[in-house]
Structure 1
Amino acid sequence: MSEHTGPEPSELRASIASGKRKRRNLLIGGVAVVAVAAIAVVVSVVVGGQNGAADAATGSGAPAERLSVKIAVSEDTQFQDAVKEVAAEKGLDVEWVNVKDWVLPNTELVAGTVDANAFQHILYLSAFNAENDADLTPVFSTVITQWGIFSKTLTDVKDLADGARIAIPDDPSNGGRALNILAAAGLIEIAADAGNFPTVEDVTANDKNLQFVPLPATSIPQQFDDPSLAAVVVGTSYFDPSQGITKDDALFLDDSLSEKNLPYVNVIATREEDKDNPAWKILEDTYADPRVAEALDDEFAGNSILVKVPVKDLRDKLAELQAEAE
């Protein structure tokens, strides 16, 4: 299978820069946004002729049927209010449902309980598809989150002691990402043939005898103060705002816009047979709205950024990663 890596880093950066200029020029209305700790959505779509006429444009100016969307999230946040408000203007009614889980969004989607989700990057999705013989597919890209190495007590990765314990995510995709970041920081070496899913067994050099402590990714920020851990590897946006930890506090910060990080672009995913549902276009337009982008900027301060990757590139990369996972 040929490799499709999506846009070059320069294209992603240009797209983001253009989006920021657009937000400065086009931002209108007042959407009060304060806190969001994670973006994890499961979308259940109901095309409702009984829901009333929408003001969404149809090209002819005639009212259209509203679409109703039920979205499960990992927790309730005000960022979701921005999405809900803008989507409503576009003819899409959004209801948020808190599931607090990283497994149910996909299993519920496969079971048909919901119609889409938006909690994961394509590498995680590829692992799920391979393990469960599923056919979930992306319909558009949303954000990418910057990752780094953080420590409560240290100011430089060079200060890590021999035998230091480092928390990394316990799922294959994010755990592999954490190991790659440790390798990029010069702390370990990974076998050249480890692929996109390296494990601790693929570590070929570990001069500091670092001990890897696998934990659920979403719980790692809560372990940041654990005195038994010298450092943690996690997404910068995973920290609760009350912790006051930003990308500037990282001992080492990964370049989220590099070509190698395409597998970590988050997506809205659905079942193959539902990929052409018209609701996805409205939702994609909602994510692209400058008010929603501003809400994301306000919360994550650049730690998570909206990216637009052609859906064909997303699906090609998913197929490549899924073949490797299988």
Structure 2
Amino acid sequence: MTNHTISPAGDDIEIRQRKRWPWIVAAAGVVIVAVGGVVFAKYSNQDKPFGTTLEVATWSTDIAAENLLSYIAENVAPEHGITIKPVQIDNIIEINRAVDAGNVAGNFFEHQPFLNDAIAANGFQLTLAAPAFTWDQATYSNKYRDWNQLPRGAKIALRDDPAGQAIALLDLSEAGQITLKPGKDTLAGLPQLGDIEGNPKNYQFVQVPIGQLARSLADVDAVVVHISDVYAAGLRENQILARHPAPKGSEGGLVVSNKHLDDPNVQKLIETFKDPKIAEFLETTDNELIRNTLGPIGR
């Protein structure tokens, strides 16, 4: 676990320099990425139009989005005259690179702030074309069941990437545990640890890579996170101290390449992910995984 501990609030907050988000450094040469039994090389199909069978990628650890994509592929896409072939990509840099290069038609795993980071770091030409769901948020703890039990000076882990960190801080602000500086109290302000204005219980914040958050719970008092980020690692409802509404602007959905926005089949793909059947399914599904981790936009 990466332990970057942040001293509490006020104007005296000090933040140790944290490592740059790893997608900033890209390997030179040819990169081979295993994708659900398929192998994608870093070649480009940027100018090649898509047929009516379109591959859409999910990140391999987000099993909730994967389940939702399967529903869309089986129950929604045929009504729009296309076939969706779900694939998995293990690497969160390469999943966007595959869309940018035209090797897959889209991906289904990220919200706008996360996409903004990827675009800024890599120069991708990508668009969140069809927001389709929200991620449920939660604070987990193995020791405490409500905020009143969480002691002064408690260690709280959150993601170390800018987008994930901003959402966690907004969750804590919504719960009344911290206050944020003016202009930093919405997702558009992308608040970071240095933007904490008030921290009355003197919480110590630990920045952790997304893939290590579930394991970090054993070493801290609480973890603030997308439920889907830790569900696959085995964290469950009885470990949740508090749930939080998804901040406005953090909706997840279909990301496509700007270079293929005029492709007729990509347009059909976008309309598929805008279909109201998706929200209806999210409201009514008996799939426990989806019901416990994802929600319809506007809920």
TM-score (norm 1): 0.63
Equivalent of residue 275 in structure 1, options 247, 252, 261? 261
Report what 2:251 is aligned to. 265
| CA positional deviation for 1:146 | 1.7
| Count of residue correspondences | 242
1:238 aligns with 2:229: yes
Q: 1:242 to 1:112 in 2, by over 3 A?
A: closer
Q: 1:298 to 1:243 in 2, by over 3 A?
A: same
Q: Which amino acid aligns with 1:92?
A: I
Equivalent of residue 213 in structure 2, options 217, 220, 224? 220
1:202 aligns with 2:212: no
Q: Secondary structure at the match of 2:169?
A: helix
1:176 aligns with 2:166: yes
Report what 2:30 is aligned to. none
Q: 1:222 to 1:287 in 2, by over 3 A?
A: farther
Hey, what's the Cα distance between the residues in 2 that align with 1:136 and 1:242? 30
| CA positional deviation for 1:70 | 1.4
Checking the alignment, whether the CA contact within 8 Å between 1:143 and 1:304 is kept in structure 2 is yes
Checking the alignment, whether the CA contact within 8 Å between 1:169 and 1:216 is kept in structure 2 is yes
Hey, what's the Cα distance between the residues in 2 that align with 1:157 and 1:219? 23
Q: Secondary structure at the match of 1:140?
A: strand
Checking the alignment, whether the CA contact within 8 Å between 1:79 and 1:295 is kept in structure 2 is no
Equivalent of residue 68 in structure 1, options 42, 50, 53? 53
1:229 aligns with 2:229: no
1:80-128 deviation digits (Å, cap 9, x = unpaired) = 4433322563332232322123222222322333332221111212232
Q: Which amino acid aligns with 2:54?
A: V
Hey, what's the Cα distance between the residues in 1 that align with 2:67 and 2:50? 26
Percent of residue pairs identical = 21
Q: Secondary structure at the match of 1:264?
A: coil
| CA positional deviation for 1:238 | 3.1
Q: 1:87 to 1:163 in 2, by over 3 A?
A: same
Report what 1:151 is aligned to. 141
Q: Which moved more, 1:284-293 or 1:94-103?
A: 284-293
1:295-319 deviation digits (Å, cap 9, x = unpaired) = 585423253113389xxxxxxxxxx
1:138-197 deviation digits (Å, cap 9, x = unpaired) = 221111012121111101222222332111011101101111222222222221133621
Q: 1:272 to 1:152 in 2, by over 3 A?
A: same
Taking only aligned residues, the RMSD between alpha carbons, in angstroms, comes to 3.2
Q: Secondary structure at the match of 1:263?
A: coil
Q: Which moved more, 1:123-132 or 1:162-171?
A: 123-132
Q: Secondary structure at the match of 2:143?
A: coil
Q: Secondary structure at the match of 2:148?
A: helix
1:15-73 deviation digits (Å, cap 9, x = unpaired) = xxxxxxxxxxxxxxxxxxxxxxxxxxx9x99644xxxxxxxxxxxxxxxxxx1111222
Hey, what's the Cα distance between the residues in 2 that align with 1:289 and 1:161? 41
Hey, what's the Cα distance between the residues in 2 that align with 1:169 and 1:280? 31
TM-score (norm 2): 0.68
Q: Which amino acid aligns with 1:97?
A: V
Hey, what's the Cα distance between the residues in 2 that align with 1:262 and 1:117? 21
| CA positional deviation for 1:264 | 0.3
| CA positional deviation for 1:286 | 6.3
Q: 1:159 to 1:285 in 2, by over 3 A?
A: closer
Checking the alignment, whether the CA contact within 8 Å between 2:137 and 2:226 is kept in structure 1 is yes
Report what 1:19 is aligned to. none
| CA positional deviation for 1:229 | 0.7
Q: 1:71 to 1:169 in 2, by over 3 A?
A: same
| CA positional deviation for 1:284 | 1.9
Checking the alignment, whether the CA contact within 8 Å between 1:141 and 1:308 is kept in structure 2 is no
Hey, what's the Cα distance between the residues in 1 that align with 2:88 and 2:270? 23
Equivalent of residue 152 in structure 2, options 150, 158, 162? 162
Hey, what's the Cα distance between the residues in 2 that align with 1:242 and 1:271? 31
| CA positional deviation for 1:232 | 0.2
Q: Which amino acid aligns with 2:182?
A: A
Hey, what's the Cα distance between the residues in 1 that align with 2:235 and 2:206? 24
1:264-303 alignment runs, 5 A limit: 264-276=250-262, 277-281=266-270, 283-284=272-273, 288=277, 293=282, 294-295=284-285, 297-303=287-293
